[in-house]
Amino acid sequence: MFDDVQRIWETVIAVILAAMGGLARLLSLKDEKRLRWSLILSELFVSGFAGLMVLMLIRATGVTGDWIGLVCGMAGWIGPKILDLLIKPAKKAIGLGKDDTGKEE
């Protein structure tokens, strides 16, 4: 039971750190005056999602502790680009990385 609660809190903290990373990147852009709530909310969502995906990946590799927060925060900063990087290995893992002839795309 305790492990489940710890895992849930670890996930919540990782997603929050990723969202903060995305927001930090957004605020560091030169056009801060043009920030709209829709842009801020979409950045928080995409960064949080990217952090969650990276959390799942690094849990599968056995990474624990402070490294989880660091990697998820950086994934949030990178945002959609990290999702683009994760597409190819994810497709390969589930067998979708091949064309009709069986060659890798």
* Per-residue tens of pLDDT for the chain, all 105 residues: 668 898 899 999 999 999 999 999 988 886 666 778 888 899 999 999 999 999 998 988 888 888 888 999 999 999 888 888 888 888 888 888 665 556 665
The rounded distance, in Å, linking the Cα atoms of 85 and 90 is 9
Would residue 39 count as lying in a domain? Answer: yes
| 48 and 81 Cβ atoms separated by less than 8 Å | no
Please give the DSSP secondary-structure letter assigned to residue 49. Answer: H
Look up the pTM and report it. 0.78
Number of domains in the chain: 1
102 in any annotated domain: no
Q: Quick check: is 12 in a domain?
A: yes
